[in-house]
Structure 1
Amino acid sequence: MKRDFKGAGRLSGLDFGVRAIAALALLATPSVSASAVAPADTAPTYSDTNLTPEQRAKDLVGRMTLEEKSLQLGHAAPAIPRLGVPQYNWWNEGLHGVARAGIATVYPQAIGMAASWNAPLMEQVGDAVSTEFRAKYLERVHPDGGAEFYRGLTVWSPNVNIFRDPRWGRGQETYGEDPYLTGRMGIAYIHGLQGHDAKYLKTIATSKHFAVHSGPESNRHREDVHPSAHDLEDTYLPAFRATVTEGGAQSVMCVYNAVYGVPGCASDLLLSRTLRRDWGFKGYVVSDCGAVANVYREDSLHYTKTAPEGVAASLKAGTDLICGDYRNNMTTEPENIVAAVRAGLMPEATVDQALERLFTARIRLGLFDPRGTVFPGITAQDYNTPDHRALSLQMAKDSMVLLKNHGDLLPLSTPPKTIAVIGPNADSYDVLVGNYYGRPTKPVTVLDGVRARFPASKVLFAEGSGLIGPAEEPVPDSALCADGDCATKGLKASYFSGPAFSGTEAVRVEPNARVSWSGEDKNASARWTGYLTAPETGEYRLRFASENGYRIWIDDQLIVDEWQVGDAPSIASGRVKLKAGQRYALRVDAVQRDATGDQRLVWSRPSANGDDAVAAARQADVVIFVGGLSARIEGEEMKVEADGFAGGDRTSLDLPAPQQKLLERIHATGKPVVLVLMNGSPLSVTWADKNVPAIVEAWYPGGEGGAAVAALLSGDFSPAGRLPITFHRSADDLPPFGDYAMTGRTYRYFKKPVLYPFGHGLSFTKFVYDAPTASSAAIKAGAAVQVSVRVANTGGRDGDEVVQLYVEKPGDKAAPTLAGFTRIHLTAGESRLVTFDLDARRLSQVDDHGVRKVVPGSYTVHLGGGQPGHAKTVKLGLSVTGEDILPH
């Protein structure tokens, strides 16, 4: 049963004399097979809805030329009019709602939804998101019935990578550090996305990124990871296995990096043996965008010498769909597919197999059937509905984690006379939506939420600090003019229909560099020119608060260049020294690729030192300090110029220095402070834990997030969110970020003291656990056992409790490991018997050879509202005889 890691060496180059540029010519000379054209007097078999999707797909693919097939293997698949095949763009993001398709309901970021520990609610969210995907498809369905970019039904989510290191910038996209919790939340989201219709898939969910992928971002296109056999089976694969074998995910995305020397998208071990043979996966594999190019690129993994070799290696290993990446000039490879087949690097049957999987998926989505027969109850208007926004609010409430509440400062049951809301995230849109997001129509910031929830209180607001620098504000119209003598106020605005100041140009004078891009403006650009007058002397920082790329010049000096960005720009600003009253030439360039929303020119003045925030705090009865991070400073391959950050990842877990300094100044006023953290990864708020009486973890809470925060502060509900990841005291306690060994990582293998443990979260009421029982005190290895515990709400108010079950296994290297959880609601004084089923997999452990098994000996089952050793739990013993080896 030992896992085979052989065959991981580099492929040798094949000298077949075909270069990619020459292969382009092949597309112009199609070779039509005998079956490629259907007889004119018969209906094609693939249109027969009485046949299985697999039969229909096989017939359809058999009618295509090799050149047509090659084009269908890219994410932007063109139409084939002669066969009635509509175009289809496979690229769609749905991490926590429909992303990048304009207005949509935005739910809390994935890490926040994981903090709810509420799998049934997670499935409801997935169902609502899939409804919105269907609506977005109908809203802009292509005339031929196909789907455009971000308007399809193939969803590249959930991300079930393990958040193994809290410094990873993309950890916000995951469900945390525990394989079991990740698997359960992933399964629930997949069930919601794909639905339970007997004939059609509502959407297709994609479990990603398979496998062993969790930073660093700066090296993801070159990383070669060699996990131990134990860590691969114990940590990196279980959530993927669960989403495939139990969740039924119909798509899996392979990774950028290599595993054991082989690129993930060309890995026979991962794709052929593990995914398809061991787990029985029948769906399709899509590459991460640009990952197939990584297979052969000299500046990347360079596993093969040529592009056709790389494409052949990927398709033969089990990759079916090649996503290109315009950001890195990584193409979708049609010419290389043709070249690979004609050079004998792979048989055409390999191409056919991939295409049959892809067209089976499109048929199962109903994209080849009469539209009125496929989910007819969903209309093009069924997105951003009141019901969906209410669901987003509920999930945001469920995700909130009360980390500390000294002296019962919370809830603020009696409205304070004056409330000071302070901090860079207090009135921030960015921190509501995280990354991979849609556009909420009425986003509720924390400031909005507090004002609405405490209407009788005087609410003061001062940002006081930026995330990683001084506080910013919009550049006022009064500081701008369109000509050197300021005879004309405003700026000259030039709008172009093309992305690089090309196409149709519209010119006019506007008050400022502001724009509200719509979904129709994709690939447009804008330029503002004029003059700026400084109101005071000193160093200014300017940026364009944008969803896409931008540049700013002062007196022909380029002070900030965020033009070539990934999914979104950072908050990079340009520093420049200006003199009061002096006029400077200004130029701002902006490009619109796929985002929507209001964008504007902002600056920080030399006098932005936080004094206004301290003054507001002194006037208040209570201070709500809203700080943390943003998806503009932690995320996917980004540029952040600040201490503690690198390439989208973090080098420090501390609260950024400008915020920490301001928080200490606010604390020194002597006023009670509630610290609200909004972030996608843990923060080492050790100073705050010692000095601030109440701390709330709010994550990136979605479009209704501010209302959820205010409801918690006021006590409208009792918080019950639990941490899905450990909050460490310092990054200094962690192993090197690039080391994928699990020793010293996550709650299961970390041995030092922590700030807040995995599973932690406080409540406004009290729960007591009693009378744990098991259906049998002794079982044979491989058998299941039922465990029950009575939970009582002994506090004075109603509330939710997350009941957690951990298993301590004989001889296991890991700490007691999560093996069950459920979220329940108990009214004050109510008690309930909670029962868990423990099967062999939940009782199993992994040995050094990667073999998963149940071993004989004495087990301890811990039950409580948190992790044993950190929370009060009850326990019972379980004896297991014999040994049972489980399949991979």
Structure 2
Amino acid sequence: MQQARALVAQMTLAEKASQLQHESPAIPRLQVPAYNWWSEGLHGVARADIATVFPQAIGLAATWDTPLAKRVGDVVSTEFRAKFLNTVGADGSSGIYRGLTVWSPNVNIFRDPRWGRGQETFGEDPLLTSRMGVAFIQGLQGPDANQPRVSAAVKHLAVHSGPEADRHKEDVHVSPRDLVDTYLPAFHAAVTEGRAESVMCAYNAVDGVPACANPPLLQHYLRDQWKFQGHVVSDCGAVADIHMDWAHKHVKTPEEAVALAVRAGTDLICDFGSNPTAQPATTVAAVQKGLLSEAELDRALHRLFDVRLRLGLLAPAGQRPFPEITARDFDTPAHRALNLETARRSLVLLKNDGLLPLRAAPKRIAVIGPNADSVDALVGNYNGTPSKPVTLLAGLKARYPRARIDFVEGTGWVAPPLEDVPAASLCADAACSRAGLNFERFANLKLEGSPTSSAVTQQGVFKWGWPERYDRKESARWSGFLRASESGEHVLRLKGNNGYRIWIDGELVVDLWDIAWPTAKRGATLKAGQTYAVRVEAMQTGWEGEQRLQWSRPGANDEAALAAAREADVVVFASGLTWELEGEEMTVMAPGFAGGDRTRIDLPAPQLALLERLASLGRPLVVVNFSGSPMAFGGVTQKLPAIVQAWYPGGEGGQAVAELLAGDFSPSGRLPLTFYRSADQLPPFKDYGMQGRTYRWFKGEAEFPFGHGLSYAHFGYTQAKLQRSRVSAGQGAQLSVLLKNDSPRDAAEVVQVYARRTGAMAPERTLVAFQRVALRAGESRRLSFALDAKALSVVQADGRRVVEPGPVALWVGGGQPVTAGTGVRAPGQKLLLQVSGRAELPAFGRTVMHLETRE
């Protein structure tokens, strides 16, 4: 910190103001290089070309494997160092997404399954989120706080989980109990145990004050109680929201907004150039007007330059830390192997009536559904680009090379089946004297300058990199005319690409050009026989797969899919969503979606209709669902022999799913959130009160409960016992259980410990410990869990955490002591502990689980 103070002391006011922005310019006279603080690493290096794309965060949470989460974080930080070395300037400058300040992980609680960004979290439980978050941060930053590999920014403080459409203006009011019991524990753990270098404040307001200018959050909790020493970065545009008329309108001017944020504890402003809060002149004016003291500005800069110095961002090239990491250390075979291992452990077998594992290699497989051959279904949002993505279709073909595999998409995600736009519907001129489309290629990502080639292509089909390669920095444009054969709504897409946009008669109908901020995806109403001008623009976003212009016709049907299913030995239906349908603040013009969120949790109607028809055929049917949030299959659930929740499983995900179906390993993933039967079981989305939400406060019957997941093995729990059956309030407890793999195959089990207190303030039950355990066939192991006093406590209405006298019901088993909607109940054993006396604990207490394993 002393070196940072000395550096800041040499700066002028204008120079200091410039360094408050995430896009910090160089100060040549002080040998300070330009630096862009914005880098994303949710589940791998994001938006920086090829990188290892691990399962989305919610999938990593489904492993319930904290050592694995730490290993994943370690690989991600190594790849960030490699990406930095790939593009760092001769003067040490670094651009967006190529720095060492990583804005991850997201430890917000996934309180409602309709939230589109819930996929970025570790689920609905404070303990599971805390433990996974701490492990990931420790992996990212490494063991040496004086020389971190990267800086982790835990986000978004606080009480932030949708709706996306209201996040810039929402004022969230929560009870002291919910704040202490649910919304803040993971942040507390990330700061006090994970030692996160940074915290990102949220867009929303909390109790009337915008989060990035909120003294109770940023000062009382973060600095005073939790002793946080790092820096606070705003969510992008959140400081502008403080004064904007359409947002919080908490103050009147941008100068007041900057001053209020910095004085409250925000140290770095992530902003967009169109906002006045993004201009250094605004900060200068705030100081000159007396709204912000220069000493308060200096305090923020001391924190920012301290971490830049410890990361080695100001060091000469030959003196940077971690010289063993090279510019080639990304997407390596070892990293891809860890990715595959993570994907395997993330998969959750929700239901199995004995179909899985497939007993014999099927001779004919029907693969149906919109996610069967979708790379988007692998990667989720805030993602990198896998070099060799393995879709489910590709994984099945590799695993069953001798089988006949019939692939029929059958339906789109939210529309009828998507198919290639036929050549007969495309014209290169308005008179349709020439068939096809005009096609131009550019040797850059922005369609700038003269095209490198121009031609008329008979159909909208193209493959990046062929016949010439432009190092994944190419763009293309198709233009011409489109003629429909039938009237009605047509949904259009460029299959195989992320960055693209489509115009019909000059109207932008699909805009996925900037994959970080998708703005629209909708259909166009076309009339049969009428000619429409069409323009498609695309930029290469990584893999060199084939691009195909497709549409869904109103009259299309699923007969081809049903025909393939009738002839198959086994049918695999790949259902669900992609990041184009659920995610961060975007427009999705489809029933059941709003602002990136969902208004319902049902499988979209076209998929559900096809699934019901497939189930009625009576063929062996496996549903593999790809989504970042819970999915409800309605009444057809009971007719489905097997359901696998695949999440967004990363670059190697298709191989992992194929191996699971084949029985190459036993599934060990467990749900990190509740799969409800319907959104009708939930309180209103905008209600942030926890009553009626998550397994802790939900009193209904879930389809698949939190912690649920089936195995190909059977585990027995016996000889459960407490070290002491009575304890005084404020003391912990220790329990043990004998776990046995009663099957003839090696497998892993996730052992879960739940506590239940009686009383109005007590949840239904609370997860207080867990451990993933791998056992060989027939192996037994005694496990011991040491619970701290917090595990026996409840939080009162006023936010005080207390241990009351009376019984504590404990459960140790392979899930909660409840029956899933499919009739499955997790094995386990009950214990009863008596507590005498009463004690008040610190609000957050400890969240560390003490686990012991005895052979």
* Equivalent position amino acid for 1:845 in 2: V
Secondary structure of 1:296's counterpart equals coil
Q: Who is 1:586 aligned against?
A: 534
5 Å-filtered alignment, 1:189-204, equals 189-197=136-144, 199-204=146-151
> Partner of 1:844 in structure 2?
793
**Superposition deviation, residue 246 in structure 1:** 0.8
CA offsets per residue over residues 707-754 of structure 1, 9 Å max, x none?
010011000011111100001111111100001011100000000111
Counterparts of 1:441 and 1:503, CA distance in 2: 28
Tell me, in whole angstroms, the C-alpha distance in 2 between the residues paired with 1:296 and 1:198.
36
Measured after TM superposition, the shift of residue 106 of structure 1 is: 0.4
Q: Counterparts of 1:636 and 1:584 in 2: how far apart (Å)?
A: 32
Does the residue aligned with 2:132 lie in a helix, a strand or coil?
helix
Question: 2: distance between equivalents of 1:379 and 1:392?
Answer: 20
Aligned residue runs from structure 1 range 593-608, under 5 A: 600-608=548-556
The CA deviation at 1:857 is 2.6
2:672 equivalent to 1:748: no
* Unpaired segments ≥5 residues, structure 2: 820-825, 845-855
Structure-2 change in CA distance of 1:502 and 1:447 (3 Å): closer
Corresponding residue for residue 819 of structure 1: 768
Paired with 2:763 and 2:243, the residues of 1 have a C-alpha distance of 39
Q: 1:874 to 1:249 in 2, by over 3 A?
A: same
Does residue 885 of structure 1 match 2:841?
yes
Question: Between Structure 1 and Structure 2, how many residues are aligned?
Answer: 827
Maintained 8 Å contact 1:482/1:509? no
Contact preservation (8 Å) 2:506, 2:533: no
Deviations 1:793-849 (A, max 9, x none): 112211100000111124342012001111011111101111222112333221000
Cα distance between partner residues in 1 of 2:489 and 2:758: 62
Q: 1:577 aligns with which of 513, 526, 540?
A: 526
Residues 366 and 412 (structure 1), Cα distance of their counterparts in 2 relative to 1, 3 Å cut: same
Deviation at 1:634, TM superposition (A): 0.8
Measured after TM superposition, the shift of residue 97 of structure 1 is: 0.5
1:392-446 per-residue CA deviation (whole Å, 9 max, x = no partner) reads: 111111011111111x110003111211111111111100001010110110111
* Aligned match for 1:541, one of 491, 496, 499: 491
CA distance in 1, matches of 2:532, 2:208: 54
Are 1:451 and 2:406 matched, yes or no?
Answer: no
**1:790 shift after superposition:** 1.1
* Match status 1:237 vs 2:188: no
> CA-to-partner distance for each residue in 1:580-620, whole Å, 9 max, x for gaps?
6x76543234578x877665532223553111101100110
> How big is the shift at 1:690?
1.0
Question: Residue type of the partner of 1:839?
Answer: D
Match in the other structure for 1:550: 501
SS at match of 2:721: strand
- Work out the CA distance in 2 between the residues paired with 1:563 and 1:785: 54
Q: 1:457 offset after TM fit, Å?
A: 1.6
Cα distance change, pair 485–768 in 1 and its aligned pair in 2 (3 A): closer
Aligned mates of 1:267, 1:637 — CA distance in 2: 23
Matched, 1:725 2:680: no
* Paired residue type of 2:184: L
Partner of 2:440: 493
> Equivalent residue for 1:858?
807
Whether the 8 Å CA contact 1:404–1:762 is kept in 2: the answer is yes
Equivalent position amino acid for 2:765 in 1: P
Q: How far, CA to CA, are the matches of 1:307 and 1:661 in structure 2?
A: 51
**Aligned residue among 147, 150, 159 for 1:212:** 159
Quote the residue 1:7 is aligned against: none
CA deviation profile, 1:557-591 (whole Å, cap 9, x unmatched): 526152786724377243243546x7654323457
What amino acid is aligned across from residue 788 of structure 2 in structure 1? D
Task: Specify the SS of the correspondent of 1:131.
Answer: helix
Moved more, 769-778 or 692-701: 769-778
Q: Tell whether the 8 Å contact from 1:491 to 1:531 is kept in structure 2 after alignment.
A: no
Quick check: 560-569 or 466-475, which moved more?
560-569
Write out per-residue CA displacement over residues 84-140 of structure 1, whole angstroms, 9 at most, x where no aligned residue. 011111101111100000000101011111011011111100001111000000011
Match of 1:75 among 18, 22, 34: 22
- Aligned partners of 1:570 and 1:632 also within 8 Å: no
AA of the residue aligned to 1:548: G
Following the alignment from structure 2 to structure 1, what is the Cα–Cα distance between the partners of residues 479 and 275?
Answer: 31
Q: Who is 2:481 aligned against?
A: 531
* Counterpart check, 1:155 vs 2:102: yes
1:261-312 superposed Cα distances (whole Å, 9 cap, x missing partner): 0000000000011111010100000000000001111110011011101110
Answer yes or no: is 1:463 the counterpart of 2:409: yes
Q: What whole-Å deviation, never above 9, does each CA across 1:330-376 have from its counterpart, x for those lacking one?
A: 75241211111100011101110000101111111122234445111
For the residues of structure 2 that align with 1:351 and 1:573, how far apart are their CA atoms?
46
Question: Residue 419 of structure 1: SS of its match in structure 2?
Answer: strand
Q: Which runs of 5+ in 1 are unaligned?
A: 1-53
2:135: which partner in 1? Answer: 188
1:164 aligns with 2:164: no
- CA distance 1:585–1:306, shift in 2 (3 Å): closer
CA distance in 2, matches of 1:321, 1:717: 46
* Residue 349 (structure 2) aligns with: 402
* 3-state SS, counterpart of residue 479 of structure 2: strand
Residue equivalent to 2:849: none
In the TM superposition, 1:369-448 aligns within 5 A as: 369-373=315-319, 374-406=321-353, 408-448=354-394
In structure 2, how many angstroms separate the alpha carbons of the residues matched to 1:527 and 1:128?
Answer: 37
CA contact (8 A) 2:234 2:268 kept: yes
Local SS of the residue matching 1:637: coil
TM-superposed deviation, 1:668: 2.1
Query: Residues of 1 paired with 2:662 and 2:403: CA distance?
Result: 12
Change (3 A) 1:433 1:271: same
Aligned ranges 1:865-880 → 2 under 5 Å: 865-870=814-819, 871-880=826-835
Q: Distance in 1 between the 2:351 and 2:843 partners?
A: 43
The answer to whether residue 591 in structure 2 is matched with residue 643 in structure 1 is yes
Q: Give the residue type in structure 2 aligned to 1:859.
A: V
- Select 2:579's aligned residue among 627, 631, 637: 631
Give TM-score scaled by structure 1 length.
0.89
CA distance in 1, matches of 2:449, 2:215: 47
Identify the match of residue 125 of structure 1 among 72, 84, 109. 72
What is the one-letter code of the residue matched to 2:499? N
Tell whether 2:322 aligns with 1:366. no
Q: Provide the rounded CA distance (Å) in 2 between the counterparts of 1:549 and 1:443.
A: 19
CA contact (8 A) 1:61 1:352 kept: yes
Report the Cα distance in structure 2 between the residues aligned to 1:385 and 1:564, rounded to whole angstroms. Answer: 29
Mapped partners of 2:289, 2:51: distance in 1: 47
Deviation at 1:771, TM superposition (A): 1.6
1:536-575 Cα offsets, whole Å, 9 max, x none, are: 777643234552352312xx35261527867243772432
Contact 1:776–1:785, Cα closer than 8 Å, also in 2: yes
Q: Distance in 2 between matches of 1:419 and 1:590?
A: 34
**TM alignment of 1:201-350, pairs within 5 A:** 201-325=148-272, 329=275, 331-350=277-296
**Aligned partners of 2:241 and 2:248 also within 8 Å:** yes
Q: Which residue of 2 aligns with 1:704?
A: 652
Structure 2: distance between partners of 1:391 and 1:641: 37
Q: State the 1:788 CA deviation.
A: 1.6
**Within 1, Cα distance between the matches of 2:771 and 2:757?**
21
Distance 1:596 1:673 in 2: 31
Asked if structure 1 preserves the Cα contact closer than 8 Å seen for 2:426 and 2:435, the reply is no
- Aligned-partner Cα distance in 2 for 1:700–1:84: 43
Secondary structure class of the residue paired with 2:219: helix
CA 1:219–1:571: 2 relative to 1, 3 Å: closer
